[in-house]
Structure formats: structure tokens, C-alpha cells
Amino acid sequence: MRVVRVRYAPSPTGTLHIGGARTALFNYLFARHEGGHFILRVEDTDQSRQIEGSEAAMMRGLKSLGIVWDEGPDQDGGYGPYRQSERLHRHQAMADRLLAEHKAYRCFCTPEQLEQDRAQRQAQGLPPRYSGRCRGLTEDDVRARAGERSVVRFKAPMEGDTVVHDLIRGDVRFDNRIFDDFVIMKPDYTPVYNFAVVVDDHDMGITHVIRGEEHLPNTPKQIFIYEALGFEVPAFAHLPMILAPDRSKLSKRHGATSVEEYRDQGILLGALANYLLLLGWSSPDGREILTIDEAAQEFTLERVQHTAAIYDQKKLEWMSHEYMIALPVEQVADAVRSFISYSTETGPEFLAVVGLSRERAFTLVQLAEQMRFFYEAPESYEAKGVAKHFGPGAVERLEALAERLAHQDDWSHDALLAAYDQLSEELGVKRAELIHPTRLAVTGRTVGPGLFELVELVGREASVERLRQAAERIRAGLV
RNA sequence: GACCCCAUGGUCUAGAGGCCUAGGACAUCACCCUUUCAAGGUGGUAACCCGGGUUCGAAUCCCGGUGGGGUCACCA
């Protein structure tokens, strides 16, 4: 049995889109499961559409999700080059061959002519197909017009059926009469996608073409080419699409669509990969939290869904939170660093702060924000909290608290709890009436970690200082 | 419009003729816990698109309809 070889072949026109990421991921998972090779090929034939730095961005995106390729532009595996533009001689050689064998022909029709044809057919209610005007040109005709602008068209079959054996959907049958003689080489004698992809996939020994569903209608054309060239046809598998919540194609107006944007939102990328692999696939035992490696163990195309999936930001964030609390704290700490805009040089130990704060953060952006007060005293207090906890008697309670804590030697969680209990008894107020004003004074917020854990970490000096500060501000009418 | 794909709660899905009184997860609601929030615990609301067949029996098979999506480039 031949070793499995699959590829992800993005066009370098931007950053890694989550649809592309999912396709890459499924290819990768399949390769790993089958003990095969995963290849990265850059489809950069159309120079005009390229975006500078895009190839590097794609690679970064894939790596950040934990997808590694066995062969690619930066990783030779003996099947290179891995940039389509560098394979031009192969495309041209194959086009030459098709021309020589009369399986393709020169077409001199101008774009204007074609546009006219199209309009005419449309007026007659016919589907827009190439007329075949140049199909009958003799070799003398072609020689005579040698200098003219021309493209190469493939002679599509005019009868019969073509069946795509799709590993996910089963056999899909197409009536060959719906295909016209499509262009395979542009006027500058560079290939069009449907042609280049076949030559490259063949040359690279690709055994399984796993790609988005949008490619399914093009597959018969590619099969024509495989057959015309005498190449073995690979197996195909067309993945369901990922749709926006309104069932339309995912686009910028739906918010984040690229891996980069999710990273900037502070979504943990391990979680993103995990979420993505669940879009259209499920593990046999129903587990939802699993790493790429774990998924690769069980990944089969048979378990891939046929239906388009609508992506759900809520579930993604939930998953990010799951990773947030499950990952080693050091890892979360490393990840959150780039989101922090305040100094953490002085103040409580970073890892401890991360450990305490991560429990209620869904993204790294949130985490960074929730960690802020450990390093910076609040400058203002949440209005809702002021109304609730800084009312009559609050100043006295805050001052009493400051006074008591200033002399509190045992600064452990339990000792602090005992101190609050004692003071609440002395003052004849409920413990909560001490706790909430403290939280607000120390953090500026009404929500956060358990008070005693938090105060323990903030430390005595800073805590007392913030209690006094709050009392003063209230007296001065500043809050 | 033509061709192709698809159809289980709001969302992701399990389900390959009887195991389904349709299971899990997210979201949502209620309650519990409690020092707030989050987490956690318990419970609840909520789905087999419709119509015909096939079969003793259909979410599962077939046909039709409807709906959604995709493709129809000298883009990839």
C-alpha cells in the first residue's frame, strides 16, 4: 500500500483564515492517523493577487495552531519546489503535451468576443459556455495566427458521465455535457488553477485530496486532466463549509475570521485548534476537549459531517476557558505577557496572580485586565459598587479595617478571614459589609477572586494603603 | 437560471432499521453552594424540515417537495 500523502495548498492572499485552518487541520490529522505525509504547497500562480508577506503569515498561523508540515517551501522532501510559481516548466511541459496530442487547443477568441457570446446565450436562457469556435482550427490556421494573443483550452468530453468517488459523500455523478472547453493556460502561457493543481498534485505524489466543499463542482474537470495526461486519479474528500451565524459565508463583517485575529482577541490557540477540529468531526467516544495528537489517533474521514457548520464564538470562548484553567500555569503566564500593558516588576508574584485570576477569564485579554489591580491601585471605583458598598458608614468601616489590618501580622488567608470575623462582631455588622467595601477599595471592582486570596496576594502594605485611600476619597466626595 | 452538495434542539453533534421515552456539549432558565463574579452541583425548556413509499418496525432505506449552501472566470 502506498504511503499516504496529503497537502494543504493555500493561495498567499492574506492571513490564515479559519476555514483554511480547518482544512489544513483535517489534512494534517488524516496524515498523522495514516502515518503519511502532510505537505504545504503555496499556490502563487496568479502574481497579481499576491500579498507581500502572506506566505510567512500562513506558516505562522499553521504553526501557532500546532500544525507542522513534513514538506513545504522551507522543508524539502524531494518533491519540490513547493511554490507553484516555481513549477511553471512542468505546467508548460504538460500543456505542450496535451497540445501535441490534440487533447487541448489554441483559442484566439478575445475577451470581448467571449463576453458577447455569453450575453447572447444568456438572452436565450442558456448557461454560459464556451462556443467551441476555435476547437476546429487546423494546424495551418494556428500557425498562421502564431503571433496573436491566445489561450489553451482543454477539449472536454461531450458525452458520458464522470463520477467523483468522494470519501465523505460517496459517488457524485456529473453529466459531461455540462462542461465546456475550459482554459488551462493563460495568454502568457502560465497555468490556470484547475490545470496546475492536477499537475502539481500528481508530481508530488498526492494520494488524497482533502479540501473544501466549494471545490467539488470543479473536480470533474480535474479528473478529465488526470485522465488525459494518463495520471492516476487520487482519492477525493470534500469537507463541509464553515458558515457565519447568519448562514452566509464567513467574512470580515462577522468579526474575527483569521487565526491572527483570534490570537489578538486572546483566545488560546490550542483551544482554537480544538474547537476547529470539532467543526465537522467528532471523536467516537464523544470527547470534546482533546489535543491535536489525541484527535489524530482517532481521526477518520468516515466521521466527518456532511453538513456545513456554523461557527459559534460562545463555544470557542468556553473552550478557551477550559484551556485557560487546564494548562500548566507557566504556559498561561507566558501567553498572557504580551497582553499586559502595565508593569509587573514590583508587586505580587506573577505566577500566583495568573493562577488566581485565570479561573474567571475566558480570553487572555480578559485575564490581563483582571490581573491589573494586583500591580496598580485603582484610580476609580465601579459606579454600581459605589452605590452599593460605599454608602453611609462605609468610611468608618474602611478606616477600622485599615487600622486593624495595619497591625495584622499573620497575613495568611485563614488569619485574614478570622480577623474579618472578629471585626464584624466588634462592629456589629455582617461580614459581607466588610468584604464588599474592601474588594471595591482594593480592586476598584465588584467582581473578582475570593477576597481573602486576593488580599493575601496584594499584600499588607498595598491593601492597607488602598483602604485608606478609598476612605479619604469618599470623605472628599471624590467618588 | 443550470448543475452539485446538504437537512437531528438557537449552535456543534451522537445516531449506520428495533438498544430512541432521541444521548452529549455550548448557549439559555431555575435552584443549590457562597464573600461578589466565574467555576462547580442539581434540575428544566428545547430537535429528527414536509409528504409519500419500503418494512412487522424508520431519525436511520427509496422517491418527491421545501429549505439552506456551493459552483458555473483568461481567481485560487
- What is the rounded CA–CA span in Å between residue A393 and residue A469? 16
- What is the rounded CA–CA span in Å between residue A235 and residue A163? 12
A251 touches strand B (CB under 7 A): no
**Rounded mean pLDDT, A218-222:** 97
- The pair phi, psi for residue A155, each rounded to 5°, is -80, 100
Task: Sort residue A282 into left (φ over 0), alpha (ψ -120 to 50) or beta.
Answer: beta
Residue A73 above 70 pLDDT?
yes
Overall residue count recorded for chain A in this entry:
479
Q: What is chain A's mean pLDDT, rounded?
A: 93
- CA A91 – C1' B62 distance (Å)? 45
Tens digits of residue pLDDT in A334-355? 999 999 999 999 999 999 999 9
C-alpha cell at A240: 463541509
**Rounded mean pLDDT, A51-79:** 94
Find the helix or strand (DSSP H, E) in which A161 lies. strand A161-166
A222 touches strand B (CB under 7 A): no
Residue A195 above 70 pLDDT?
yes
A366 touches strand B (CB under 7 A): no
Residue A379 above 80 pLDDT?
yes
Q: Give the dihedral of Cα atoms A179, A185, A190, A194; nearest 10 deg.
A: 20
**Rounded mean pLDDT, A432-447:** 94
pLDDT of residue A275: 97
pLDDT of residue A129: 87
Residue A445 above 90 pLDDT?
yes
Number of other CB atoms surrounding residue A248 within 10 Å: 11
Task: List the helix and strand counts (H, then E) for chain A.
Answer: 20, 11
Tens digits of residue pLDDT in A140-189? 898 989 889 999 999 999 999 999 999 999 999 999 999 999 999 999 99
Q: What's A5's DSSP letter?
A: E
Q: Which residues have C-beta within 8 Å of that of residue A203, sequence separation ≥ 6?
A: A79, A87, A90
pLDDT of residue A189: 95
C-alpha cell at A66: 500546532
- CA A209 – C1' B8 distance (Å)? 29
46-85 of chain A touching strand B, CB 7 A cut-off: 46, 49, 84
- CA A183 – C1' B26 distance (Å)? 46
**Rounded mean pLDDT, A52-65:** 94
Pairing outcome for strands A170-175 and A5-8:
unpaired
A22 touches strand B (CB under 7 A): no
**Rounded mean pLDDT, A450-459:** 95
pLDDT of residue A142: 87
A136 touches strand B (CB under 7 A): no
- The pair phi, psi for residue A243, each rounded to 5°, is -110, 160
pLDDT of residue A48: 67
Q: A120 pLDDT band (50/70/90 cuts)?
A: confident
Number of other CB atoms surrounding residue A288 within 10 Å: 14
Residue A47 above 90 pLDDT?
no
A43 touches strand B (CB under 7 A): yes
- What is the rounded CA–CA span in Å between residue A338 and residue A454? 23
Do the beta carbons of residue A445 and residue A371 sit within 8 Å?
no
pLDDT of residue A122: 81
**Rounded mean pLDDT, A207-212:** 97
DSSP for A224-260, written as a single string: HHHHHHTPPPPEEEEEPPEE-TTSSBP-GGGS--BHH
- CA A10 – C1' B48 distance (Å)? 38
pLDDT of residue A50: 75
DSSP for A282-346, written as a single string: --TT---S--HHHHHHH--GGGB-SS-EE--HHHHHHHHHHHHHHS-HHHHHHHHGGG--S--SS
Number of other CB atoms surrounding residue A125 within 10 Å: 6
- CA A434 – C1' B58 distance (Å)? 64
Task: Report the complex ipTM.
Answer: 0.95
C-alpha cell at A80: 519540490
Number of other CB atoms surrounding residue A411 within 10 Å: 16
Look up the protein residue whose alpha carbon has the minimum distance to the C1' of B34.
A450
First vs last Cα of chain A: how many Å apart? 76
Q: Is A456 helix (H, G, I), strand (E, B) or coil?
A: helix
Beta bridge partners of A170: A166
Tens digits of residue pLDDT in A259-316? 999 999 999 999 999 999 999 999 999 999 999 999 999 999 999 999 999 999 999 9
Do the beta carbons of residue A24 and residue A58 sit within 8 Å?
no
Do the beta carbons of residue A98 and residue A154 sit within 8 Å?
yes
Kindly report whether the peptide bond that precedes residue A73 is cis, defined as omega within 30 degrees of 0. no
Q: A1 pLDDT band (50/70/90 cuts)?
A: low
A447 touches strand B (CB under 7 A): yes
Tens digits of residue pLDDT in A80-112? 899 999 999 999 999 999 999 999 999 999 998
A162 touches strand B (CB under 7 A): no
C-alpha cell at A262: 483570534
Q: Is A131 helix (H, G, I), strand (E, B) or coil?
A: coil
Active site includes A388? no
**Rounded mean pLDDT, A422-451:** 93
The single residue of A186, A252, A315, A384 carrying the catalytic annotation is A252
Q: A9 pLDDT band (50/70/90 cuts)?
A: very high
Do the beta carbons of residue A429 and residue A397 sit within 8 Å?
yes
- What is the rounded CA–CA span in Å between residue A109 and residue A135? 11
- CA A40 – C1' B32 distance (Å)? 53
Look up the protein residue whose alpha carbon has the minimum distance to the C1' of B5.
A213
pLDDT of residue A2: 80
Residue A126: is it exposed, middle or buried by C-beta count within 10 angstroms (0-12/13-18/19+)? exposed
Residue A460 above 80 pLDDT?
yes
Where on strand B do bases come within 7 A of a protein Cβ? 1-8, 10-16, 23-27, 35-39, 68-76
